[in-house]
């Protein structure tokens, strides 16, 4: 795909009609001051207020403004995915529409991608204006994400990020996976991830769109991303290894009981009267179940359209 702009700015929004004119004016000011060619993609995630009418009006005033509107609310990940698919800029920058992300950060983010050659740069809202009920869980979540993914970022869920275009075209964001785009990028082979301290501003209009369910969904999605990144194409390596080890442990327990019954124990106790017998039996059954799950996952994966999809950087005298 031909890249037409220096920057594609992807802005997911949901009921943000009050902030959009001010955000657009701010973006336009920064872009013009730095001489960037750009497009602004407003992705309306099924807003119920007048957000889409505002986007239409902004498009009439500025041809750089483009928009995509969902029939209903699908979530931030879906909005980002559609924005990524449509982006035609060399650098793709995402930000929230609530004015908590500052467009003044755009030039430095762009420079880190183009000049410093980062694949992805994530913002870090070091000083936040959120209530303590949000900041403490966020710190715990970021710590867990660093430990599991191995990516040393302080703020995985910061909406202000910059990417090479090839990165956003190589990943699929779905469900609530927008929190883990750095991990998705890493597992797709884009490991040069940078971080920049960015200014966090207090919300001026409306209310936050994320509820308490994010505290449950976040850890579950993190485990999904970590598992799919490491074992998505080879589930047998995970389930089969656990199943085989568990079965061997159970079998060795059973073998010990047989040897003990025949040559050591003189009390005449039945094997079935011993607790170790049931422990070994359960271990072998669980081991077989894990092995079967891995085998079935391999069969399903063998028919997946993405099983043999690999990202090619460049070739020499060969057809990709």
Domain ranges of the chain: 5-231, 235-302
Contact in structure between 178 and 189 (CB atoms under 8 Å): no
- State the chain's mean pLDDT as an integer: 84
Question: What is the value of pTM for the model shown?
Answer: 0.74
Q: Which residues contact 297 (CB under 8 A, 6 or more apart)?
A: 235, 236, 239
Segment 243-298, tens digit of pLDDT: 999 999 999 988 988 888 888 876 777 888 888 889 999 999 999 999 898 888 77
At 163-205, the pLDDT tens digits run 999 999 999 888 778 888 998 898 888 999 999 999 877 666 6
- CATH assignment, 5-231: 3.90.550.10
Average pLDDT over residues 33-45: 95
Q: How far is the C-alpha of 149 from the C-alpha of 182, rounded, in Å? A: 9
Q: Are 149 and 186 in contact (CB under 8 A)?
A: yes
Res 26: pLDDT: 96
**88-115: average pLDDT:** 94
Bridge partners (DSSP) of residue 49 are none
Q: Identify any residues that bridge with 123 across adjacent strands, giving them in sequence order.
A: 196
Distances (CA, A) of 201 to 17, 32, 198: 18, 23, 10
On the question of pLDDT at 94 being above 80, the answer is yes
- CA-based torsion, 40, 19, 47, 220: positive or negative: positive
């Amino acid at each position: 795909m031909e890249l037409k702009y220096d920057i594609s700015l992807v802005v997911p929004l949901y009921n943000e009609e009050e902030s959009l004119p001010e955000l657009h004016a701010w973006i336009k000011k920064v872009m013009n001051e730095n001489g960037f060619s750009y497009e602004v993609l407003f992705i309306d995630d099924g807003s119920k207020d007048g957000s889409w009418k505002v986007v239409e009006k902004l498009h009439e005033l500025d041809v750089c403004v483009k928009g995509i509107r969902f029939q209903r609310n699908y979530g931030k990940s879906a909005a980002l995915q559609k924005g990524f698919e449509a982006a035609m800029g060399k650098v793709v920058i995402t930000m929230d529409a609530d004015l908590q992300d500052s467009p003044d950060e755009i030039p430095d983010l762009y420079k880190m991608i183009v000049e410093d050659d980062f694949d992805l740069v994530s913002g870090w809202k070091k000083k936040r204006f959120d209530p303590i009920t949000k900041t403490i869980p966020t710190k715990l979540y970021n710590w867990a994400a660093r430990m599991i993914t191995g990516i040393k970022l302080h703020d995985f869920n910061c909406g202000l990020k910059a990417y090479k275009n090839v990165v956003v075209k190589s990943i699929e964001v779905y469900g609530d996976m927008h929190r883990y785009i750095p991990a998705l990028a890493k597992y797709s082979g884009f490991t040069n991830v940078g971080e920049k301290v960015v200014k966090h501003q207090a919300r001026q209009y409306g209310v936050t769109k994320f509820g308490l369910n994010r505290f449950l969904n976040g850890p579950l999605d993190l485990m999904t991303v970590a598992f799919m990144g490491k074992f998505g194409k080879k589930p047998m390596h995970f389930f089969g290894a656990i199943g085989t080890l568990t079965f061997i442990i159970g079998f060795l327990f059973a073998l010990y009981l047989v040897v003990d019954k025949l040559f050591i124990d003189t009390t005449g106790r039945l094997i079935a009267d011993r607790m170790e017998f049931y422990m070994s039996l359960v271990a072998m059954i669980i081991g077989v179940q894990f092995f079967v799950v891995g085998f079935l996952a391999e069969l399903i994966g063998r028919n997946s359209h993405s099983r043999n999809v690999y990202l090619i950087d460049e070739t020499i005298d060969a057809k990709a």
